[in-house]
């Protein structure tokens, strides 16, 4: 995982833990929240892995029951072992396995972020996440004005908080930090939306960022 991808996710989690009075936060506060965010990620990863393990055990039990109750084995003597039987529909298998893979991937990602951050207290991950937070503190009013301008027919206060935070991070990178290619910034914002927000979020976020790129002549 790239360090800055980890930093964006930490910044996203950080934003969810601060209140509207952004001016009261210091750099030290942001640093403490980042560390708390890492602990949250590790805790969530543990929970997700436990869910995945439970799902795997249930899935194994379903397959064993399916095998035992298949007509091939029901017609065999009780004292002999079951024999393998044709699997259930591949679509059912694929869906269940896909769900467990998704859980495992999210858990591994969370653990990678935690590792990135805790290996070095002054790591690029922590520094970049805090830089995003400080830019948010400095430009919060302007960021909200930009979002309201381009989110036509939407009340900013009623937008999904996760979408607003994803947009804030992307806008901060595009307008103030300006260190990352715009395609990477937009792609990373869409990945966060896919992971944390609603099905419609990717289209909504992509639309707003595209307008900002054009109007601000970002290259």
Instruction: Calculate the CA 59 to chain-centre distance.
Output: 26
Kindly report the CA angle at 40 between 24 and 111, in degrees rounded to 5? Answer: 125
Most confident of 32-36, 55-59, 92-96, 144-148: 144-148
pLDDT, position 121: 47
Give residue 79's Cα distance to chain centre: 51
Is the CB of residue 114 less than 8 Å from the CB of residue 42?
A: yes
End-to-end CA distance of the chain: 25
User: What's the mean per-residue pLDDT of the chain?
Assistant: 84
The residue among 46 and 118 whose pLDDT is bigger is 46
Share of the chain above pLDDT 90, in %: 34
Cα 151 to Cα 153: distance, rounded to the nearest angstrom: 6
Give the chain's domains with CATH numbers: 3-215 (1.10.940.10)
User: Looking at residues 163-169, what average pLDDT do you find?
Assistant: 95
162 pLDDT tier (thresholds 50, 70, 90): very high
């Amino acid at each position: 995982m790239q360090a800055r991808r980890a930093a964006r996710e930490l910044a996203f989690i950080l934003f969810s833990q601060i209140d509207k009075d952004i001016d009261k936060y210091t750099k030290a506060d942001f640093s403490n929240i980042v560390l708390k965010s890492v602990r949250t990620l590790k805790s969530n990863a543990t929970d997700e892995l436990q869910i995945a393990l439970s799902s795997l055990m249930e899935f194994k039990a379903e397959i064993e029951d399916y095998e035992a109750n298949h007509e091939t084995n029901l017609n065999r003597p009780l004292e002999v072992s079951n024999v393998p039987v044709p699997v259930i529909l591949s679509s059912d298998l694929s869906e269940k396995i896909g769900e467990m893979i998704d859980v495992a991937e999210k858990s591994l990602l969370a653990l990678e972020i935690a590792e990135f951050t805790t290996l070095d207290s002054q790591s690029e991950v922590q520094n970049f996440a805090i830089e995003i937070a400080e830019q948010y503190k400095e430009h919060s009013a302007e960021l909200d004005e930009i979002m309201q301008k381009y989110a036509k027919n939407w009340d900013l206060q009623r937008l999904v908080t996760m979408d607003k935070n994803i947009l804030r991070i992307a806008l901060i990178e595009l307008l103030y930090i300006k260190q990352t290619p715009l395609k990477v910034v937009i792609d990373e914002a869409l990945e966060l939306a896919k992971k944390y927000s609603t099905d419609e979020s990717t289209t909504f976020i992509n639309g707003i960022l595209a307008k900002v790129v054009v109007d601000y002549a970002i290259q």
